[in-house]
Structure formats: structure tokens, C-alpha cells
Amino acid sequence: MEAAVTEPVLIDVVMTEGTNMSAAMSPDGSTLILALQGVLWSVPAAGGEATALTPAEMDSHEPVWSPDGALIAFYTYAENGFTIWTMKPDGSDLTQRTFGPSDARYPTFTPDGKSLLYSADTEGGYQVWSLPLEGGAEPTQLTVADETGYETPLTPYFRGFGNAVYPVMSPDGSKLAFVIDGQMDALVVRDVSAEETFSVAYTANTLGAPVWAPDGESLYIAGLVGREGRVAQAFPDGSDANVLVEGGDVFAFRPSVLSDGSVLYTADGKVNVLAPGAAEPTNIAFSASVELDRTPYKRRTYDLTSTDTQPALGVIDPTLSPDGTRAVLTAVGDLWISDLASGETTQLTDDDFIDMSPSWSPDGSTIAFVSDRGGKADIWLMDVASGELTQLTDSPRPTNSPVWSPDGSSIAYLSDALITIFLGATVNVIDVSTGDETTISEPIFGPSPPAWSDDGETVLVVSRLPQTNRFREGYNALFLMPASGDGETKWVAPQGMDASLGRRQWNRPAWSSDGMIVYRFKGALYMAPLTANGVLGEATLVAEAGENPNWSADGSKLIYIDGADVMLFDRSTGETSTLDIKPEWHRDMPEEDYTIRAGHMLDVAAGEYLENVDIVVEDGVISSIEPAGTADIVGTLVDASDQYVIPGLIESHTHQSITQGKALGDIWFKYGITTVRETGDDPYHAVERRESADAGRRSAPRVFTAGPLNEGARVSYGVSETVGTVEEAKESVRLSTELKLDLYKSYVRQDYTVQKTVIELAHESGIPVTGHELYPAVANGVDQMEHFGATSRRGYSLKSSLNGYSYQDVIALISQSGMYVTPTLAMGKRAGPEFVQAGQDALVKIIDNGGKLVAGTDSPFVPYGASLHDELAVYSGAGVSNATVLKLATSQAAEAIGVGDQLGQIAPGYLADITILDADPLADIANTLSVSEVMKNGEIVYVTPD
């Protein structure tokens, strides 16, 4: 029998406004080029229907005309980086002008039309370069870091400072204007030949690209002063600017000066033309049509009540004994030890604490590991012979990733900084005998676990080497530091300074006793000799796919993981074998039954209460709902007759950290949250959390997880993976499929061509795909979008303006596509109430137009648990009914995950995830904080203390 063929579902969307849209008028005033949702469009100068000129996957931006109108220059994000391109006005003769690995952006033509000026991060941050269009000459650098004040960033978080961007040459070719970014952006002007001598013409919090007036006496520029839009005429000598536009949501892009002296700029979703002396602009109307492929696919199905036994997939840090005959690992919440010859695996710990990151002492007598059995995550020592435990550290912040020094005298480890390791960590060394601790690094952005040199003098981690301070992405490389904390540090890039090693956080580099370093690149494991002072030898391939390696003490064997498998590499023979050592587990379903007598039970679908009912829970599942007292009590009676009973809340965007320990589970339950959707973490850690919660080994919400943030050649977070090619996309989807990840996170630097392949492959495996970008992701079938704004590789979002406003293009694409979106609006409180109000306006429009939203927060950037209630309050404050608000955190959130038939409602056949409140949330959404009791999976997991 042939499989049924799904008919394509194609949706046409017409866009009549643009969010962070730029525009450029042709020199003859006949044609307008729009950069709208990453596509360049041609529109008649008087307005009308737009014609697409560039493929959506090119992600094209900020067009500029050549002086004679024969060419258009722009920059794109394609093939793993930003590059400069040109084309003819009809879209033909697409020509790439710059080539990686440096990012190149913000092009403009010289007045004679023979060269391009642009900014590239080749050296010293973004600096200005000149490239002849003919003759094949190499580009010439026009500005340098000493001139602009650029400094290499050293902290986990930073903002642009000292980058030279948006260059433009005066009409007579004598002067160069550009913007230097910083706390206040500065438009500066200097003679083309007078390096390091410039005058400041204009400053604002945010500035876009300037354009010279035809007479060369002034420049026009758009930007923001605080939150207020500005379009100004600035003068090279720094005299007072002529402010043309003050207020409104001005988009900070290059204006056009028309032949009659009018200034064309974009703001408030429109293309505006301000005539000389006019008080208000006129608009150029347009319509641009796109087609969205929203053909359904077969989603992965879940049986959340199955108790079938299965091997653990969430295996963390398998570590070899010094002689290579045994391995210790973390799985399903505990430590396990395996005999590699027999395959016998024995449980070392048996409790509900976090037990992770084991490290064997060189003499084999002791295992160091991390546990929260003392109240927070610290390093503990286990005597292998007796099993006796001793606490080694009592740090103020959670610790993780202990690794013994070669002589067994010290342990290097990481300590959380900036809330959790997800945001930053320090590298520390503790003397095992004295307990003396030394912090040997400043906070590092999501580093790998440490590794020791063979002489014990050097410790290294895999860290992000920023390429520029204007954008946060960089390349993962080896960062070497003296174990004493004193002396010079050094970067070593095994594959070159423009190539990134693989995901760093929780992913160990392995440095053997004879100096052989094993690192991960493009998903494969390589080994190379590395001295303590950073001299690297020639690399050889260990495995085509693998991660998290660990050497035996003599360097003869290497254990590592690859998806669902634990592997062993024998260095002497070069052979690799699969180890059958993973423990098994099964889902824990409660034995106790309950009858919950609810005075007011929320029917989420109807948006109203059922009054005075008995909710019968058997084997973790709601078996019936009856009028109160009309049937015999089943099991234990929970009297909620004067309370409000709602489904357990679902947090749809969080990043958990395993070193937060079991206390994090208590926090979720305290706030009535029984399910979390994780949108980025180490995949093995995330799966371990999922399995530990499902197995009842750890009291925590059920987990649905994306695993890593899949980016391109450059990466940001420690859990970011390098997936910048189609081949790497195939490998990453294989990993997602083997680990049964619940969604795939396509992140900031993954280009649209690769993302399109990811969507196709993930959907073949039944896995939904989410990301930060809207178009063309939504046209290619992406399932969900995170945030109304948030990080973009461009430095600005195409979903919301810098002031937080989303216009008709965004509203229409979201509402008509049927994709799910997690707004994360409460996080915007940090930017002020006006920013939140802008997001609320978009929220209401999307809901009113039939769009699908779910409630999530992006914790830990905001507090775990409590922030979900802040998010719900923002929705309610926007005027959304409280019944609808609750739906976004229950049934609609469950539908987005793919478990809408089992979670998110209180109804027969649904799992008993239930939150009991003391006050009415339909009357006041703040009453969702009045949590009295919480049931997850038919088990009472939280009762408010008296």
C-alpha cells in the first residue's frame, strides 16, 4: 500500500509595511529599491507593486546605487558569512565582490563609480576598505584600530566600540565620512589621505549610514537619540545639525537625497519622503507578495505513559580509569561504573541529587564528581574501594567539570559566573590536600571543561575568541593559561584563526599524559601533539563523528560519545569499538490514585470554570471528571473545594543548567510549572534531565528539549554548534534524531540555505524546527519562532525595530502562516515600559488576526519560574483576556510541542499535570502566583509550606 501524499499547502502573504526596512532611490528618481525581509525589491518611484530581485536565501540588505544608476551594491548573509555583492537594477548579473572568512558589510560606491567602500572585520574590528570593481586588485584598508579606538573584547558580554562602519566618500572624492560605534555613535569626517585626523560631525545613541548632499557641504543621517527617531543634516565641521525629523520610529539606515532636495527615509513601517520645508512626510506605498510553503508533515508522536525499558541516551562525561579497563559515567541522575571487558554496569550513587562530571584520580583510588547533595553543586570525592564520600569544595557559586592534575595533587574546575555557566564561568584550581583555591581566569563566556598539560603547569579550555566587539560571535579555540594563575595566556587555533572548534560548553578537550590533545572540529575528533607553552603539531583524524573525549592515564585509550553510542578508541591499533555500557531506565508512573474535589476547575478550551467537580486520577492519568460527591472517592481525596484548579503551566522558552541542581525543580513547581521547553543546551545534559525527570530519579518538570544552538562557522554561546554547511546540517539532524531531541534550534549564524536543508531533514524525522528568524524561514516550513525581537546576526532585527515595534509585514507573516511564536516580552522590561508596550501592540494584533502564541521567558536572563508569571501579566496588561493568557501557557503550548492530546488540559485521558491556586486567575492573572499544591504526572510534587 502506497503512503498517502500530502497536498502542498501554499499561502500567499502581501506585505504593505516593512519592519527595519531600508530603501534607496535611483539617481534618476525613477526606481526605488527596498530591502524588505531580507529580499531586495524594485518599486516604481511613485509606489506600487514590488518585484523581488534577489533570492530570499541570500538575506540581502542596505542597497545603494552607483552614481550612474547602472549597479546596485548590497551585502548578504550567504554561505556562512557576510559578503558584498552587486547587481544590475533588474536583478541580473548578480556578482559577489568580497569573499570570506572576514565579514564585509555596509557598501557604497566611490563618486566615480569605479570602486566600492565597505566595512570588514579583517583586522582590528570593523574598518573601512576600498575595492576596485575592475582589474582584480586587492582591497585597500583606509582606517585602522588606532584611529578609531577599537579594542579586542575580553569579557563575556560587550558592546561595539571603535568600529568604523558605514563609509561614504564626498562627491569630489576628497573626504571620507564614516560612523565610529560606541556608547554614543559618532559620524566623523576626515580627508581621504589624512589617517587618524577626523572631526566629529554628529552623535546619537544609534546611527545608520550617512549620505552626502550633492554639494558636498553636509551629510544626511538617520538614527535614534534615546528612543526618539532622528533624521538630521550634519556638517563636517561639527556645527549644530539641522534636525529634519524628531520623533517616531525611525529606522537607522541610509537616507536618499532626491533631485528636488527632498529626503527619503524609512520609519514607522513606511517609506517616507520629506520635502524641503515640509512639516510632515508623504509616503510611497508598496505591496510585496511572498509565498509560504506550510505543507504539514508527520510529527513525532509521544506516549507519555509508556513504561517500556530503554537504554539511557543522556550519557554525560564517560571517563576511563587510569588503566583503561573501566569507565565511570553519569546517566539518569546517578554515577555508574562499567567493566569494559564484560560490559557490566553498576550503580555507584542512588539518590535524587545531581551526580555528574566524574574524573578519576591518576592513581585510580578516587573519583571526583559534582553533586548538590550539600545544598548546591560542589565537588565531592568518592573513595572507589569503600564508596565513602567527602565534600571538597564549598564554593559560593555552583561548581562543575572537575579534572585531576597529572600528579593528583590538584583539581581544575569551573565555577558559575553571571547567574549560570550558560552565561559565564571562571577556571579555578584547588589543592586537594589543603583545600586552597585559586581562580586562574576572569569570567569566560561558556567555556569547555578544563584540561591539564602533561607537566601540570598549564590548564586549557575551549573558549570563544571574538572576531570583533560589534557582534558577539567568534571562533572557538584553545585558551591556555598558567595553572598558577600568574603569567601570560595564549590562544591556539588548531584549524586556523578563522575556523571554529565544535561546541565548547560541557564538551571536554582531552590532553593526554604524553601531550596529545584531542579536539572537535566539524563534528569529527582530531588529535595532535600540544606542548604546555602552546606549540601544536600535525593533527590526525581519530573519528569522523564524536565528542566529549577522555584519555586513559597512559594515553593508550580514548573514550568518547557519538549520539546514541559510547565509543572506545585504541591508539595503538587505531581501532574503534562501540561499548555496550549504558544503563537502562523506564518511566516512573505513580501507584497512588487521587480524587481532586475542585470548587472551580478551568476548562481551558471553553475559557471558563466547571464548578464543584471531582477529578479522578488513576495511574497518573485523569480517568474521569464527575459532579462533586456523586461517585465514590478513588484513592486519596485532595480537597480543593474552595480553590481554583488549572492545568500545570508550561514554560515554553528556558535554558536550564544542570548545576543548578534539584533546587531548580523545586523552583519550577513552586510557581506551578510542570513542563519546560528548553531552547538550547548541551544535548546530552538536556536528555539526561529529561530521562531523570521521567524516571522519577529527580523531582523536576518534564522536559522537551532542542539540544544545542546550531549556528554557522562563527558561534556565540558555549552550547552553540558549528552547522554552517549542508553536510554539517545532515550530521546535526542525525544527532537530533538519535538522541530523540524534541525540537531543533536553528540559531543566529546559520544561513538560510543550510536552514532550509535542516527543515527538510528534521521534518523527515518528525522533528519541529525553531529559530530567531522569520522570513524566509516561515516560507520554508519552520515550525516556531523565538522572541519578537532578540539577537540577530545583522545587528538589528527584521521582526521588530530598535524601539520594539513590529509592522504589518511581521504581523501578516506570523498570523497567516500558522507558525507558533514565543514573544518573551517580560524580558523587555529591562529596556523600559515603552518597549514592552510596543511588543504588547504586536501581541494583540497577532492574536486578533488568528496567530498562534505560547508563553516563554528566556530564563535565566530573567529569573526561573517567577518570570513566566511576569510574562503572563504582560499579556493580560495588553488587554488579552485572562482565559486566553492561560491558554498560551497550557493547551496551546502543549500543541506547539506536539503533545496537545496528553498535556495542557484537565480532561479525561490527559496526564494529571495540575496546579491548585488559592485565588481566581480569571479575575486577576497575578493570582497564578497563589500556588497551593502542584501535581505532575499524577503525583503531588509540591505543597506550599504552612
Helix (H, G, I), strand (E, B) or coil at 616: strand
What phi and psi values does residue 368 have, to the nearest 5 degrees? -90, 140
The answer to whether the Cα torsion of 834, 838, 839, 844 is positive or negative is positive
Beta pairing, strands 286-293 & 10-15:
antiparallel
| CA neighbor of 770 nearest in space, from 786, 792, 756 | 786
pLDDT, the chain, mean: 96
Buried b (16+ CB within 10 A) or exposed e, 220-240: bbbbbbebbbbbbbbbbeeee
Task: Extract long-range pairs of 239-247: CB within 8 Å, 24+ residues apart.
Answer: 241/201, 241/202, 242/218, 244/220, 244/274, 245/274, 245/281
CA angle 495, 499, 501 (to 5 degrees): 75
Residue 5 pLDDT greater than 70, yes or no? no
Decide if 49 contacts 286 (C-beta within 8 A).
yes
Residue with cell 545587528: 795
- What is the distance between the alpha carbons of residues 780 and 505, in angstroms, rounded to a whole number? 30
The answer to whether the Cα torsion of 695, 696, 702, 707 is positive or negative is negative
Q: What is the pLDDT of residues 910-930, one digit of tens each?
A: 999 999 999 999 999 999 999
Q: What is the pLDDT of residues 425-455, one digit of tens each?
A: 999 999 999 999 999 999 999 999 999 999 9
Q: What is the pLDDT of residues 545-556, one digit of tens each?
A: 999 999 999 999
Contacts of 810 (CB under 8 A, 6+ apart): 19, 774, 798, 799, 800, 842
Decide if 65 contacts 24 (C-beta within 8 A).
yes
- What is the distance between the alpha carbons of residues 63 and 105, in angstroms, rounded to a whole number? 11
Q: What is the pLDDT of residues 85-133, one digit of tens each?
A: 999 999 999 999 999 899 999 999 999 999 999 999 998 999 999 999 9
Torsion from C-alpha of 193, 197, 199, 204, nearest 10 degrees: 100
- What is the distance between the alpha carbons of residues 844 and 847, in angstroms, rounded to a whole number? 5
The CA distances from residue 149 to 152, 181, 182, 202, in Å, are 10, 10, 10, 17
Q: What is the pLDDT of residues 856-894, one digit of tens each?
A: 999 999 999 999 999 999 999 999 999 999 999 999 999
Q: What is the pLDDT of residues 512-540, one digit of tens each?
A: 999 999 999 999 999 999 999 999 999 99
Helix (H, G, I), strand (E, B) or coil at 602: strand
Beta pairing, strands 547-551 & 557-562:
antiparallel
Measured in whole angstroms, the distance separating CA 87 from the mean position of its chain's CA atoms is 33
Would you state the pLDDT for residue 2? 40
Helices 726-738 + 752-764 axis angle, to 10: 30
Helical spans, DSSP H, in 645-703? 662-670, 683-694
H/E run at residue 60: strand 60-65
- Confidence class for position 693, pLDDT limits 50, 70, 90: very high
Would you state the pLDDT for residue 4? 52
Decide if 355 contacts 371 (C-beta within 8 A).
yes
- What is the distance between the alpha carbons of residues 822 and 789, in angstroms, rounded to a whole number? 10
- What is the distance between the alpha carbons of residues 883 and 922, in angstroms, rounded to a whole number? 6
Q: What is the pLDDT of residues 260-300, one digit of tens each?
A: 999 999 999 999 999 999 999 999 999 999 999 999 999 99
| CA neighbor of 785 nearest in space, from 875, 844, 846, 833 | 846
Helix (H, G, I), strand (E, B) or coil at 762: helix
Q: What is the pLDDT of residues 602-631, one digit of tens each?
A: 999 999 999 999 999 999 999 999 999 999
- What is the distance between the alpha carbons of residues 450 and 433, in angstroms, rounded to a whole number? 20
Task: Supply 500's cell numbers.
Answer: 571554529
Average pLDDT over residues 37-49: 98
The CA distances from residue 425 to 411, 421, 630, 708, 732, in Å, are 16, 5, 58, 18, 26
Using only C-alpha atoms, what is the Rg of the chain? 29
Structure letter (DSSP) for residue 911: B
| CA neighbor of 659 nearest in space, from 449, 500, 482, 499 | 449
The DSSP bridge partners found for residue 410 are 431
- Residue 740 — left, alpha, or beta (φ > 0 → left; ψ -120 to 50 → alpha)? left
CA angle 760, 762, 763 (to 5 degrees): 65
- Confidence class for position 419, pLDDT limits 50, 70, 90: confident
Q: What is the pLDDT of residues 568-590, one digit of tens each?
A: 999 999 999 999 999 999 999 99
- Confidence class for position 591, pLDDT limits 50, 70, 90: very high
Would you state the pLDDT for residue 423? 82
Q: What is the pLDDT of residues 57-66, one digit of tens each?
A: 999 999 999 9
Task: Supply 641's cell numbers.
Answer: 473545594
- How many Cα atoms within 13 Å fall on the side-chain side of residue 57? 12
Decide if 919 contacts 324 (C-beta within 8 A).
no
- What is the distance between the alpha carbons of residues 719 and 762, in angstroms, rounded to a whole number? 19
Average pLDDT over residues 816-836: 95
Omega before residue 776 within 30° of 0, cis: yes
Task: Supply 243's cell numbers.
Answer: 534636525
The CA distances from residue 641 to 595, 612, 925, in Å, are 12, 7, 20
Q: Using CB atoms within 10 A of its CB, is residue 299 exposed (0-12), middle (13-18) or buried (19+)?
A: middle
Measured in whole angstroms, the distance separating CA 193 from the mean position of its chain's CA atoms is 43
Residue 1 pLDDT greater than 50, yes or no? no
Instruction: Order the strands of the 95-96 sheet from edge to edge.
Output: 60-65, 72-78, 81-87, 95-96
Helix (H, G, I), strand (E, B) or coil at 891: helix
- Confidence class for position 422, pLDDT limits 50, 70, 90: confident
Q: Using CB atoms within 10 A of its CB, is residue 643 exposed (0-12), middle (13-18) or buried (19+)?
A: buried
Residue 336 pLDDT greater than 70, yes or no? yes
What phi and psi values does residue 177 have, to the nearest 5 degrees? -110, 145
**What residue ranges in 473-588 does DSSP mark as E strands?**
474-482, 490-492, 510-511, 516-521, 524-529, 540-543, 547-551, 557-562, 565-570, 576-579, 584-585
Q: What is the pLDDT of residues 289-326, one digit of tens each?
A: 999 999 999 999 999 999 999 999 999 999 999 999 99
Instruction: Order the strands of the 649-654 sheet from edge to edge.
Output: 649-654, 673-678, 702-705
Q: Which domains does the chain have, with CATH numbers?
A: 17-275 (2.120.10.30), 315-584 (2.120.10.30), 587-647+904-946 (2.30.40.10), 649-900 (3.20.20.140)
The secondary structure of 795-862 as a DSSP string is SS-SSS-TTS---HHHHHHHHHH--EEE---GGGGGG-HHHHHHHHHHHHHHHHTT-EE-----BTSS
Residue 42 pLDDT greater than 80, yes or no? yes
- What is the distance between the alpha carbons of residues 674 and 700, in angstroms, rounded to a whole number? 8
Helix (H, G, I), strand (E, B) or coil at 726: helix
- Confidence class for position 787, pLDDT limits 50, 70, 90: very high
- Confidence class for position 697, pLDDT limits 50, 70, 90: very high
Residue 306: count of CB within 10 angstroms of its CB: 11
Q: Using CB atoms within 10 A of its CB, is residue 924 exposed (0-12), middle (13-18) or buried (19+)?
A: middle
The CA distances from residue 827 to 84, 157, 653, 819, 856, in Å, are 34, 17, 12, 22, 10
Buried b (16+ CB within 10 A) or exposed e, 335-355: bbbbebeeeebeebbeebbbb
The secondary structure of 732-757 as a DSSP string is HHHHHHHTT-S-EEE-TT--HHHHHH
